[in-house]
Amino acid sequence: MKMIDAHIHLDQYKDEEVRLILDNSILIDSLVTVSNNIESCKRNLQLSKQYSKIKPAFGFHPEQNLPSEQEMTDLLDWMNRHQTDMIAVGEVGLPYYLSRDQKVSISQKGRYLEILETFISLAKEWDKPIVLHAVYDDAPLVCRLLEKHSVTKAHFHWFKGDEPTISRMLENGYYISVTPEIVYKDKIQKIVHQYPLDLLMIETDGPWPFEGPFIGKRTQPIMMRESIATIAKIKSLSETEVSKRLLHNTKGFYMI
């Protein structure tokens, strides 16, 4: 059994923790580490040079204050210069949780959309997959932008959304990934029940902490073994078959 963590924030782990994750990585084929901003991009790039299993994606996480014009220019210039170092554009998307908590005005939401559209068109231009943070009501907005730019290599990480959006996404061939939350959350189990295994990946979104059997534990890629066991039950397949197919999906999608 080999696994790929299709979405982790390794830059947010201490050097010592990253070393431990890699030292105990017999079951880990690769780790796709996504970036929140330029500093995070630089650290992920440095980690990928240190460990060949680490594959970096570069972007700007939407659940934070808007970047200034200068910050955006600097980030896009930096990404442009490091095109060959990145396996994907991400993490990018829309600030669902900030909006829900009324921390984003309508005009700011417009700017988040503009920024996202810039990343989508660059992903197209650079021929890179895109890693999206787009849940619930934001997912259809993101689908519309992807369709507008004819972007098909899209990965909606930790996806949560309604039935019509799920149908639209699978018709478009978009991938989703699930975190260890699948082990104890009905809502996620239902999505996996509906979504074809061929468009599925697994992730931790580490160091994001989990509940259920993982409560109080530092998030580690090895937790994905439990995710595989749950997916195998839902899909009525063996764990070996599921892990083989998830590995195949992720390698194909990210070309790693």
Nearer to Zn ion, 91 or 181 (CB): 91
Strands (E), the chain: 3-8, 28-33, 54-58, 88-93, 130-133, 154-157, 175-178, 200-202
Residue showing the smallest CB distance to Zn ion in the complex: 205
Min dist. Cβ of residue 84 to Zn ion (A): 23
Nearer to Zn ion, 5 or 205 (CB): 205
Contact 93, 62 (CB under 8 A): yes
- Given candidates 138, 181, 203, 205, which one binds Zn ion under the rule CB under 5 A? 205
* Binding characters for Zn ion, 43-82, by CB under 5 A (x = yes): ----------------------------------------
Residue span binding Zn ion (CB under 5 A) among the ranges 11-19, 63-71, 85-93, 184-192: 85-93
Nearer to Zn ion, 11 or 234 (CB): 11
Helices (H), 127-185: 138-148, 163-171
If binding is defined by CB under 5 A, does position 5 make contact with Zn ion? no
Q: In whole angstroms, what is the distance from residue 158 CA to residue 39 CA?
A: 24
Chain-centre distance of CA 22, in angstroms?
A: 20
Residue span binding Zn ion (CB under 5 A) among the ranges 78-86, 87-95, 145-153, 213-221: 87-95
Q: In whole angstroms, what is the distance from residue 59 CA to residue 92 CA?
A: 6
In the chain, the amino acid numbered 122 is L
Q: Which of 153, 140, 150, 208 is nearest to 178 (CA)?
A: 208
Residues making contact with Zn ion (CB under 5 A): 91, 205
